Amino acid sequence: MNLNTSILKYIEDVKSGTFTVEEFAAETLQRIKDVDSDVHAYLSLNDSALNDAKLIDQKISSGDKIGQCYGFPISIKDNICITGTKTTCASKILENFIAPYTATVINRLQDEDAVITGKTNLDEFAMGLTTEFSAFGPTKNPWNLDYVPGGSSGGSAASVAANECLASLGSDTGGSVRNPASFCSVVGLKPTYGLISRYGLISYANSIEQIGPMTKTVKDSAFLLNIIAGQDANDDTTINNDNVNYLENIEDGIEGKKIGIIKEMTTSEGLSSEVSIATKDAIGDFESLGASCEEVTLPTIPYTVAAYYTITSTEAGSNLARYDNIRYGYELESEGYEYNSYISKSRAKFGPEVTRRIILGGFVPSAGHAGKYFLKALKVKSKLISEINKAFEKFDYLISPTAPVQPFKFGEKIDDPVTLMLLDYNTVTANLTGKPAISVPYRVINGLPIGMQIMANSLNEKSLFQSAYALESKTNLPEVPL
């Protein structure tokens, strides 16, 4: 049985009786057993996965109504809540937190008969770009175990790349879906802000983050978005997408489309030569597909990373304030402490990156400093939005490499927070502007993947998938060597 298959192919095979849901699930669980001690994509497994698969087989054989997913195995980033299961955010502070409710995206997947394999690793509270900030140890890149898988949804990306599931849900605050997708050679989508309900996603920077599908193919990404997108009464920020079918006309191509090559993202100092060459190839491919490419400049981009960290730290400082270990959390004897000393003691469990951002978040919006930092960052955000809206008047898509570099070795950049932050240079624009962006696996050079990023205007996911599918069809990538 080939575990390296797409969701759509899997569904065909289950329908035609090539294998049962249970057989595929059992094989997937075996694969997890075989490789995850090396990869460490998962933080916890769903004990009832096999049983869930069996029940779906029974539904199929008894001719009951069956959901669109036909029991394909999907992993979930461990910052999305599922009733009765641990949701740790890869943090010691939530080590024993068992969610008493289920996220909307999970309900929608389960209603359509998806089988959840388990919860995947991440940088603590989704703050990081390598999973090295997970309190439970890093995830390895399946392409080369000495290398980082990207982050923060590194566990999700690795689980898909290592065939430990067919797809995963990650979350993207500044590139946390697209960056690991690029590093692990999977498709990662950050949809328009508000397209997917965040109910049940543990907030880091709630004004800009979205849940996003991570899949082996562009079509699978569109398939998953069909299931999880749309308005939700539990999230006031969700928008009506009129039940668009993202798979429909996905093969229509991009003949005659206009593509803007973002100058700031393709000529930046940090860009590696491999990534630069790959980008030029991608531009050639887009042109050969009938699109016209032209350089475009968004002058505010050099300020976006600073603005991004200012805004996200402010929101993180507030969103993470609730972890005072009073209503839930971990065992901590309160005897001998008064309120202030107790919460400072309990909050000492946060890891270094989270602590850094909480401290920043206490400073940049504070009285006397807000004008210099937080309010200025909001100005950058609104300036960037008007620049990108102007660009989309002319262009259908804006492209760049997803990350300026290829995956790097563990420990290489972890002690240099500022260099790490620059990895976000190409991805934060989509978050700050709320626009959809997708990372498409494009090259594997020296055994390490490179992804290309395509951005489209708000709610133009359908068109975005058409371009991503077209680019994907130009690639011929090797199988993961694991």
Partner 1 sequence: MTKIGLEIHCQLTKLESKLFCSCKANYREFEANHNICPVCMGLPGSLPRLNQKAVESATSIALALTCDTPEKIAFFRKNYFYPDLPKNFQITQLNVYGDMSVGGEGYVSVEDKKIKIRRIQLEEDPGRIIYEGASERTKITLVDYNRAGTPLVEIVTDPDFESPRQVRVFLNILSDLLENLGVAEPGLEGAMRADGNVSIEGGNKVEIKNIGSFHDLEKALHFEITRQQSLFERDIEIAQETRHWDDRRKITVSSRSKEEDQDYRYFLENDIPWVTIDQSTRDRLKENMPESISSKKERYIQKFDIAPQVADIIASDRYYSKLFENAYSDHNAKDIANLITTDVIGFIDTKEKQQNSKITSRHLSDLVDAINSKTITRNSAKVALQEIMKSGKDTKEVLDEMDLGQVSDSSEIDTIISQIFEEEKQAVIDAKERPETVNFLVGKVMQKTKGKADPVKTLELIKSKLNQ
Which residues of the chain form contacts with partner 1 (CB under 8 A)?
79-81, 87, 89, 94, 97, 99-101, 103, 198-203, 206-207, 233-237, 314-315, 317-318, 321-324, 326-328, 339-340, 343, 362, 365-367, 370, 374
Of 116 and 218, CB closest to partner 1: 116
User: What are the φ/ψ torsions at residue 476 (nearest 5 degrees)?
Assistant: -145, 90
Query: Do 196 and 190 touch, CB atoms closer than 8 A?
Result: no
**Exactly one of 6, 152, 153, 268 is catalytic; which is it?**
152
CB of 382 to partner 1, least distance (A): 13
Is residue 77 part of the annotated active site? The answer reads yes
Strands (E), 229-274: 258-262
| Residue 175 to residue 429: CA distance in whole angstroms | 9
Instruction: Give the burial string for 9-33 (b: 16+ CB within 10 Å, else e).
Output: bbbebbeeeebbbbebbbbbbebbe
The least CB distance from residue 387 to partner 1, in Å, is 21
What is the distance between the alpha carbons of residues 337 and 357, in angstroms, rounded to a whole number? 26
Of the chain, the end-to-end C-alpha distance in Å amounts to 16
**Smallest distance, Å, CB 437 to partner 1?**
20
> 409: buried, middle or exposed (CB in 10 Å: 19+, 13-18, 0-12)?
exposed
CB of 291 or CB of 430, closer to partner 1: 430
Q: How far is CA 306 from CA 206, 355, 381, 430, in A?
A: 18, 18, 11, 15
Query: Of 94 and 247, which has the nearer Cβ to partner 1?
Result: 94
Q: Three-class SS string for 293-343?
A: EEEECCCCHHHHHHHHHHHHHHHHHHHHHHCCCCCCCCCCCCCCCCHHHHH
Q: Are strands 73-77 and 115-120 parallel, antiparallel or unpaired?
A: parallel
**Hey, which residues does 260 pair with through a beta bridge?**
294, 398
C-beta of 272: minimal distance to partner 1 in Å? 35
Cβ proximity to partner 1: between 171 and 226 the closer is 171
The answer to whether the beta carbons of residues 277 and 376 sit under 8 Å apart is: no
- Amino acid identity for residue 192 in this structure: T
- Tell me how far, at minimum, the Cβ of 19 lies from partner 1, in Å: 35
Q: Tell me phi and psi for residue 346, to 5 degrees.
A: -70, -35
Q: Assess contact for 457 and 193: CB atoms under 8 A.
A: no
Q: How far is the CB of 393 from partner 1 (least distance, A)?
A: 25
**Shortest Cβ distance from residue 373 to partner 1 (Å)?**
12
d(CA 174, CA 433): 11
Tokens (6 digits) for 397: 């898509």
Q: Which is nearer to partner 1, 182 or 346 (CB)?
A: 346
- When the beta carbons of 173 and 463 are compared against partner 1, the nearer one is 173
- 152 catalytic, yes or no? yes
Query: Which of 54, 77, 349, 435 does the annotation list as catalytic?
Result: 77
**Annotated catalytic residue within 168, 171, 176, 458:** 176
Residue with Cβ nearer partner 1 (223 or 373): 373
Q: Which residues contact 116 (CB under 8 A, 6 or more apart)?
A: 46, 49, 52, 73, 74, 75, 76, 82, 106, 109, 110
Question: Rounded to the nearest whole angstrom, what is the least distance from the CB of residue 375 to partner 1 in the complex?
Answer: 9
Nearer to partner 1, 182 or 313 (CB): 313
| Catalytic residue numbers, as ranges | 77, 152, 176
